[in-house]
Structure 1
Amino acid sequence: MASVTDVRDSGDLWRLTMEHSPVGMALLSTEGVFLTANRALCEMLGQDVEAITSLTFHAVTHPDDLELVVKSVREMLIGEVGSFRMVKRCLRADGSAVLGDVSVALLRDDDGQPLHIIAQVVDLSGRHALEQRLDAAEEEIEQTRIRAEAVFEAVDAGLLLFDAVGNTVALNRRQREMMAIAFPDGYGGAAGQTGLVFTEDQSRPLEAEEMPSTRAAAGEPFEDAVVWIGAEPRHRRALSVTARPVRDRTGATVGSAVACTDITDLVRATQVKESFVAAVSHELRTPLTAALAYLELVEDSPGLSDDVRQHLGAVRRNSRRLAMLVNDLIYAARATTGTPTADRYRIDLAALLRESLAAAEVDAAGKDVHLVARLPEEMPVVGDGMQLRHAIDNLLAHAVASAEDEVRVEAALTDRGRHVALSVVDDGAGVADRDGAVLFGSGLFVEQDTERERLPTAGRGLRIARSIIEAHGGEIHVESDLGVGTTVRVGLPC
């Protein structure tokens, strides 16, 4: 039989456990009145011990949950159940509710009569909030997945995803269409498979190690690798392939992503454009050059009247202007298609400038513009003579076109050690364009600004000249002041 001391010690132990328990605990009468409550339950309900002992469980139960709680307590008191557990909303002192996991047991005496009700309440509000956040996060993830899948399938580019060992994880509708052309016998799903995939010049099929999929699966980043797919050359499709490695949060490579864009129409159009440029070069520029040569011979013929010479001069000026426009068109077309435009060799820049000045005399004489040259005997540089002559012709044409009647255009060439300085200065009207932004424009085929429409070579000619100079590693700057004139400064490496 337990001693009185044992019972007292047991009671003290129970009270100590109850007081320091992190779980809310309370002792209630069989009528549901709080007899005592521990600190955890008081904090959970926002009550102190004195206030809570004046309440019943009805007062701290949400009205919507009260009926179920009363029913469960009644069943316990009449002996139908020994205890029960439920999740219910508990009311705090400020009227707010906290979700609690409530466990209730009935303490009886030796005769089985109800003595007290013992209740434990676990605060679920934190867990409930976490579950709500998790649910919201899962919903957001699902919505993001749906949107990403919609974009993945809708884009016109083929998209392919490999895992870390080169197995295909996902590919979209457009990529499946391309795969059907490249691998008519079926795609095995792994990087490196060969098929009807050809080099950029279509001269041979790609080997396994050359396949974009092999390079991508190996973690190599690349972009705009051009391949052709398909059996018949006439029906092949050109693809621009770009790949990037996929990394996890630690930076480790876990796969690769590949994008394939069909550029067949662009490639075909470029080929047509190059054919057109070649035709223009042969069919238009060649006879124009011959016509200009014969015009010079005719002008030098004796016995011509002043009127005839004047007419021949006009024909020659316009023929030269047409030849410059054709040269501009050919250069711009080749530059925009990526065709190399500079074939470098050792040339005499002073001789080139003298030739350009002689050719510009035709237009200068028509406007009574005086050309002045300050040139050394020779100025050797390394560059493409034809292209540099084209650039200088455009600079002089701009200067002559900008000049008013009876003004001066000066061309000078100076050796600056590691580079050569070329300047073309005119005393014309100039424009309000101190840094040359209007004169240079933004592209080789950009329409001219209204302010410069009266100068036929202003925008295009200077843009092409800049493109040529920069292709030679040089720099070009324009300064123009309204009513003062325009200065073009060029620096070229020796």
Structure 2
Amino acid sequence: MEKVLDVMMLGQVRFHELSMRGRVVLSQLPFNVMLLLVCAIAAIADASVFTDPGFLIGQGIALVILILSFALPWDRLPYGLFLVLPILDFVPIGILHYSNADSLRGLNLLAVLPIMWLAGSGFRPRIMVPIGGLASLLIVWVPHFIDGTATPRTLAAEVLIPFMLFSIGIGTSVMTLSAMAQQERVEELLRRSETRERLLDTVLETVDVGVLVLDEEGQSAFMNAKQRQLYVAALPEGVPTDREEALLVFREGSEDPVPPDERVLRRAKAGETVEHEVFRLGRGAEARTVSISARPFDDAAGKRAGTVLASADVTDVVAAVHARDKFLAAMSHEFRTPLTNILGYAELLQDEEGLSPAARSDLQIMTRNARHLNHMVDGILAAALTGDEAAAIRLPLDLSELVRQAGDSSGPEAAGRAIMLNVSTDGPLPVLGDRTGLVRVLDNLVSNALKYSASGTTVTLTAAAEGRWAVCTVRDQGFGIVAEDLKRVFTRFQRSDAAVRSGVPGTGLGLALAKEVAERHDGELECTSEVGVGSVFTLRLPLRVPPTWSAPKR
């Protein structure tokens, strides 16, 4: 009953939240309240109606109907049976209208309440709405048949109000059906939304990636289990804290904590987008290395609604990379020591005066192959270098000079293979770089061009300025690279099928390392090739200052 009163007073409870009995009572109650108002009006307008049997019978029947609405267990009865009550309401209305039409006019308009109940129930409207219209028509026609005044003229005169009530019923039914369809659609959308939310929660709890969602105020709105594990790893030992700046967050390879302003969480709250930055959380054996990304998101209105942080645990990956690099470095050093001894003793033996020409030739072959093997070991060692070992000091250099030196160094090899090596530079090309790394790149490009070119062909080495770039090209007339192999020409330990078939020795590291060096210098290394025509490797490095001179080509 309290809920019924709350609905009537427009409180917190809504009509659809009531039990079936509560909804039936609340639907019947307005009719009985209107009959109480009729009694009040009758007391003022004509108190004699209280002695009229019809008035008393009508009020009594209405009271019995109200009691039935309270008494019957509508929740256990078949749905729709409650519509018997509004149909019964037409009985007291008809009796009151027949017995008191002269003293209390308009009593037949009370039929609007049961008609709205029938039409607003949404239960079989094609039957209930006509029943309500017919009942309202009988209220005004039956008295004429009882009194013997039923003529076409008198009956036609009473049609307007029943037709108006019938129209109200149709309008109510249309609005009710529309509201029910909308409610069903909303409920379906809510079910789908809830299903998707549960699916999303399950996915976020299942994936091996930490996810943290911040609302528009920067407060944590969601954190999955993986993110909680990473958060625990970053907590100082034995010191629980909610302060982000107190967490143990380090750059990979450093023992200095990341300053609060440089931490991803603080930057994400400021609206910054972060892509795959690597940090170490915590110290010791329990520390975790994570790759963190952060991106803000907007709501449907285009306003910022919050930020999502994703933390991928890459501890095992980083450990595997470090183990691989250490292995390569150790193996390279183990090879270097005996190779150095072989080269040293081979050079000493070549100085012996009593060597026969055949022995001297054998020593030269041994020396040449040992040097080639040493060059391969240098490539493997370079591939193993990471972090600070790979970082080089950048100094002002002239790319044109380095290109000329690369041509001079490769001249004897080109001459020995009967290959013409043309070198052309377009004035000084000032760049900022690591001399050792760039010399290695140029030597590798020229050496590759010579290795994969036949005798009698030409290798062209040029250097020129193009806009803000210093550009070096190495063009050969070799057998070229097919399109499929061209896609992976800069991949470590990858060699084209043609190179393997040719029998030219190599590790597949040179071009990959050359590209890495170019990118560390904020430059580019590209390759174009045509089978049977040759290949062109293009190295681009940013000019240190725009050239303002023009010098003759050499």
TM-score normalised by the chain length of structure 1: 0.67
* Distance of aligned partners of 1:271 and 1:356 in 2 relative to their CA distance in 1, 3 Å threshold: same
Mean CA deviation greater in 463-472 or 244-253? 463-472
In the alignment, is residue 448 of structure 1 matched against residue 495 of structure 2?
yes
- The letter for the 2-side match of 1:272 is A
In the alignment, is residue 178 of structure 1 matched against residue 178 of structure 2?
no
Contact persistence 1:99–1:125 (CA under 8 A): no
Determine the structure 1 residue equivalent to 2:292. Answer: 241
Residues 399-410 of structure 1: pairs in structure 2 closer than 5 A: 399-404=449-454, 406-410=455-459
Give how far 1:353 is off: 1.3
Cα deviation, 1:131-166, whole Å, max 9, x if unaligned, reads 121111111111111111111211111222223333
Which of the residues 412, 433, 440 maps onto 1:390?
440
Structure 1 counterpart SS, 2:302: coil
Determine the structure 1 residue equivalent to 2:177. Answer: 125
Contact persistence 1:452–1:459 (CA under 8 A): no
* Distance of aligned partners of 1:133 and 1:342 in 2 relative to their CA distance in 1, 3 Å threshold: farther
Cα deviation, 1:306-337, whole Å, max 9, x if unaligned, reads 32233223223322332232233233344799
In the alignment, is residue 250 of structure 1 matched against residue 301 of structure 2?
yes
CA distance in 1, matches of 2:209, 2:252: 19
- The letter for the 2-side match of 1:107 is I
Determine the structure 2 residue equivalent to 1:43. Answer: none
* Distance of aligned partners of 1:448 and 1:410 in 2 relative to their CA distance in 1, 3 Å threshold: closer
Determine the structure 2 residue equivalent to 1:305. Answer: 356
CA distance in 2, matches of 1:100, 1:338: 91
- The letter for the 2-side match of 1:238 is T
CA distance in 2, matches of 1:439, 1:384: 27
Which of the residues 182, 195, 198 maps onto 2:247?
195
Give how far 1:470 is off: 5.2
Cα deviation, 1:9-43, whole Å, max 9, x if unaligned, reads xxxxxxxxxxxxxxxxxxxxxxxxxxxxxxxxxxx
Residues 5-16 of structure 1: pairs in structure 2 closer than 5 A: none
- The letter for the 2-side match of 1:309 is R
Determine the structure 1 residue equivalent to 2:405. Answer: 352
Greater per-residue strand proportion: 1
CA distance in 2, matches of 1:446, 1:165: 49
Which of the residues 130, 136, 156 maps onto 2:188?
136
CA distance in 2, matches of 1:292, 1:98: 108
* Distance of aligned partners of 1:217 and 1:300 in 2 relative to their CA distance in 1, 3 Å threshold: same
How much is the aligned-residue C-alpha RMSD, in angstroms? Answer: 4.6
* Distance of aligned partners of 1:77 and 1:269 in 2 relative to their CA distance in 1, 3 Å threshold: same
Determine the structure 2 residue equivalent to 1:316. Answer: 367
Contact persistence 1:369–1:407 (CA under 8 A): yes
Contact persistence 1:243–1:256 (CA under 8 A): yes
Give how far 1:340 is off: 3.4
* Distance of aligned partners of 1:225 and 1:370 in 2 relative to their CA distance in 1, 3 Å threshold: closer
Contact persistence 1:480–1:487 (CA under 8 A): no
Cα deviation, 1:340-374, whole Å, max 9, x if unaligned, reads 3674443631563156316746xx74xx5445454
Determine the structure 2 residue equivalent to 1:150. Answer: 202
- The letter for the 1-side match of 2:317 is L
Structure 1 counterpart SS, 2:244: coil
* Distance of aligned partners of 1:344 and 1:294 in 2 relative to their CA distance in 1, 3 Å threshold: farther
TM-score normalised by the chain length of structure 2: 0.60
* Distance of aligned partners of 1:187 and 1:456 in 2 relative to their CA distance in 1, 3 Å threshold: same
CA distance in 1, matches of 2:472, 2:230: 53
In the alignment, is residue 331 of structure 1 matched against residue 378 of structure 2?
no
Contact persistence 1:399–1:409 (CA under 8 A): no
Cα deviation, 1:226-275, whole Å, max 9, x if unaligned, reads 33333x52331222222223432333334332222222222323333443
Contact persistence 2:296–2:306 (CA under 8 A): yes
* Percent identity of paired positions between Structure 1 and Structure 2: 25
Mean CA deviation greater in 101-110 or 210-219? 101-110
Contact persistence 1:164–1:254 (CA under 8 A): yes
Residues 275-286 of structure 1: pairs in structure 2 closer than 5 A: 275-280=326-331, 282-285=333-336
Structure 2 counterpart SS, 1:160: strand
Contact persistence 2:294–2:310 (CA under 8 A): yes
- The letter for the 1-side match of 2:185 is R
* Distance of aligned partners of 1:143 and 1:151 in 2 relative to their CA distance in 1, 3 Å threshold: same
CA distance in 2, matches of 1:315, 1:99: 109
Contact persistence 2:332–2:380 (CA under 8 A): no
Give how far 1:219 is off: 3.3
Cα deviation, 1:58-80, whole Å, max 9, x if unaligned, reads xxxxxx99998789647744879
Give how far 1:293 is off: 6.0
Which of the residues 84, 89, 92 maps onto 2:124?
89
Name structure 2 gaps, 5 residues minimum: 1-77, 97-109, 148-154, 544-554
Determine the structure 1 residue equivalent to 2:510. Answer: 461
Residues 363-382 of structure 1: pairs in structure 2 closer than 5 A: 365=416, 368-370=417-419, 372=421, 374=423, 382=431
Greater per-residue helix proportion: 2
Contact persistence 1:198–1:205 (CA under 8 A): yes
Determine the structure 1 residue equivalent to 2:69. Answer: none
Name structure 1 gaps, 5 residues minimum: 1-63, 92-96
Contact persistence 1:226–1:239 (CA under 8 A): yes
Contact persistence 2:419–2:456 (CA under 8 A): yes
